[in-house]
């Protein structure tokens, strides 16, 4: 688990890059950057596609990456065993050295129809298999009802979790309208991100969770142009970077802006 004063940067590579060679180049660039620093207050998690997990995991055990980067997966199946064509189980991920798993990403919720109930089952699978869930929540549109929407999504996503388990979760607030894969994406402003993080915390408290989630991240078209605005907020413990994390120059630039 990263210590709390370090900013946490999650690289969600989504369905990219196409080859392991390109993945290696991104990691080389980050490694070189980390090597140029004396000390850096960041922890990194790389979440490649399932097909590259094993090899990326090996690279992350080398050089400067070894002390600052961990392996993450982009999804999990909710059962640990069974006849489930195409799915990947928690025990499989854990054995590969995966430490973090992204759950409830908006692309899975909206493009693949994952309900809050499915996300909740996957969240429990991550915890059961002793990995750290990175739970994505966020409203689809910021209209008059967005607070109600967010509240309901948070309640259903975290339903039935013990205080202890909630304390193990990382919550990524990702407004769907600000995510680069959305054709109408427009960048969020820190103020509205802070308002939403406030709503998420209040909802969890109202549901009897006195202990809060471990860390709160912001994700939604984070680039070198806006990362500083978000990361300098005390309430934001890190960022989840999608599209920009597979562009090695841009990603290193983002890292260089994190103080």
| Tokens describing residue 38 | 């004396």
* Active-site residue flag, 174: yes
Which conformational region is residue 160 in: left (phi greater than 0), alpha (psi within -120 to 50 degrees), or beta? left
Binding mask 179-208 for ligand PGA (x = CB under 6 A): xx----------------------------
The footprint of ligand PGA on residues 103-132 (CB under 6 A) is: 105
Q: How far is the CB of 171 from ligand PGA (least distance, A)?
A: 14
Q: Does 224 bind ligand PGA (CB under 6 A)?
A: no
Q: Cβ closer to ligand PGA: 48 or 242?
A: 242
Q: Which of residues 21-80 bind ligand PGA (CB under 6 A)?
A: none
Q: Which is nearer to ligand PGA, 207 or 223 (CB)?
A: 223
Q: Does 8 bind ligand PGA (CB under 6 A)?
A: no
Q: Closest residue to ligand PGA, Cβ-based?
A: 242
Catalytic one of 87, 174, 186, 235 = 174
Query: CA dist 174 to 24, 69, 182, 218, Å?
Result: 27, 22, 12, 6
Tokens of residue 168, six digits = 């193990």
Residue 90 interacts with ligand PGA (CB under 6 A): yes or no = no
Catalytic positions, written as ranges = 105, 174
Under the rule (CB under 6 A), what is the footprint of ligand PGA? 12, 105, 174, 179-180, 219-222, 240-244
């Amino acid at each position: 688990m990263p210590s709390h004063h370090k900013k946490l940067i999650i690289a969600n590579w989504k369905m990219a890059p196409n080859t392991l060679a390109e993945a290696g180049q991104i990691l080389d660039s980050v490694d070189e950057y980390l090597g140029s620093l004396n000390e850096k207050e960041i922890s990194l998690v790389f979440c490649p596609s399932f097909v590259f997990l094993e090899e990326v995991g090996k690279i992350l055990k080398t050089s400067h990456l070894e002390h600052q980067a961990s392996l993450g997966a982009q999804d999990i199946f909710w059962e640990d065993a069974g006849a489930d064509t195409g799915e990947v189980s928690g025990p499989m991920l854990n054995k590969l050295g995966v430490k973090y798993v992204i759950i409830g990403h908006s692309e899975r919720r909206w493009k693949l129809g994952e309900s809050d109930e499915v996300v909740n089952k996957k969240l429990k699978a991550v915890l059961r298999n002793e990995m750290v869930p990175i739970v994505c929540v966020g409203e689809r549109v910021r209209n008059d009802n967005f607070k109600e929407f967010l509240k309901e999504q948070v309640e259903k996503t975290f339903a039935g979790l013990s205080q202890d388990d909630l304390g193990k979760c990382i919550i990524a607030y990702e407004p769907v309208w600000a995510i680069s894969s959305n054709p109408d994406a427009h960048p969020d402003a820190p103020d509205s991100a802070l308002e939403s993080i406030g709503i998420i915390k209040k909802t969890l408290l109202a549901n009897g969770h006195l202990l809060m989630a471990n860390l709160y991240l912001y994700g939604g078209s984070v680039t070198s142009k806006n990362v500083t605005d978000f990361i300098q907020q005390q309430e934001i413990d890190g960022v989840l970077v999608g599209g920009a994390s597979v562009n090695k120059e841009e990603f290193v630039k983002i890292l260089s802006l994190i103080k």
